[in-house]
Amino acid sequence: MGFQQTLAVREYTVTIPELARNGHGIRIAHISDFHFRRWNKALSEARACLLATTCDLLLVTGDFSDLPQRWRHAADMTRRFFDGVEPRLGTYAVLGNHDKTRLAEQPDMPFRWLRDENVALDLNGTTLHLAGIEQCYGASGDLDATLGGIPDGEPVVLLAHYPSTAFDLAPGQVQLQLSGHTHGGQICLPRLGCVFTNDCIPTRQARGLHRIADTRVHVSAGMGVSGPVPFRYRVGCPAEITLLTLWSGVARPESSASAPGTSHKHRPVMELANPV
């Protein structure tokens, strides 16, 4: 049994010189923008993929809700989707612009929310800082609070719903930013590709791993859809899970045109019996 074209599984390696040797090879799964309405094939495939794939961290960059007022439904669907998904170092998430803060206040959620704050993860004796800014419905977040207290020179992964958050970062402040919001364009036309990002970044950066300002940013194409009813579908832009492997710089991955210090593999179909 294999995954169909409703789900793309993409892989990148990212070299982070600030990451000590003990953190070399840390594997992150990134998923975003569920916009939960009803259960569907893409959600089943994505859940099966996460259950079958070995990763150290699962990071989620917002927009669980279809509409902000449907936060109760989003909470129920979130519990169902993430039930039994248990990465070694845990699952962390931030809210997106479709999410009310009430969602993050619900009990028994299957991960830890990062709400304008950061945590220090122990990677076999070395530290990786995981930060999350709350860019939710009616709020833009506090970047100073989100990154406060992190020592200079230590590696930081930032969860920020909006890719354009990278423009507000100081050089070297964050080594890798994970974002969503764009849906990869959601509708990508032949020869034209993405025509609208819904954020102030170039259309070529609506999905994938890029350098925005001074920061490497991975923009997830997400899982769900949004917008006016006639446009609530995906064309040329399947739902997506991304696997990112962090390299410490002791051994460099293959070169790539995506962004300096990265390499990329794209597997649009993934076999459950042979997970990435």
Spatial separation of the C-alpha atoms in residues 23 and 27, rounded to whole Å: 10
Range with the poorest average pLDDT among 70-84, 111-125, 192-206 = 192-206
CA distance 187 to 196: 8
Average pLDDT value for residue range 198-214:
88
Q: Which amino acid, residue 116?
A: D
For residue 242, the model assigns a pLDDT of 98
For the chain, domain boundaries: 7-267
Q: Are 248 and 19 in contact, with CB atoms under 8 Å apart?
A: yes
Q: Which residues contact 252 (CB under 8 A, 6 or more apart)?
A: 15, 261
Contact 14, 262 (CB under 8 A): yes
User: What class does CATH assign to 7-267?
Assistant: alpha beta
Q: What does each C-alpha distance from 46 to 8, 49, 120 come to in angstroms?
A: 9, 5, 28
Termini Cα distance of the chain: 15
pLDDT at site 107: 92
Contact 61, 158 (CB under 8 A): no
Q: Of 87-91, 119-123, 245-249, which range is least confident?
A: 245-249
Angle between helices 71-82 and 41-52 (to 10 degrees): 40
- Tens-digit pLDDT profile for residues 132-168: 999 999 999 999 999 999 999 999 999 999 999 999 9
Going by pLDDT thresholds of 50, 70 and 90, the confidence category of residue 252 is low
**Nearest-5° angle of CA 111, CA 105, CA 61?**
45
pTM value surpassing 0.85: yes
CA distances from 105 to 41, 43, 101, 203 (A): 29, 24, 7, 34
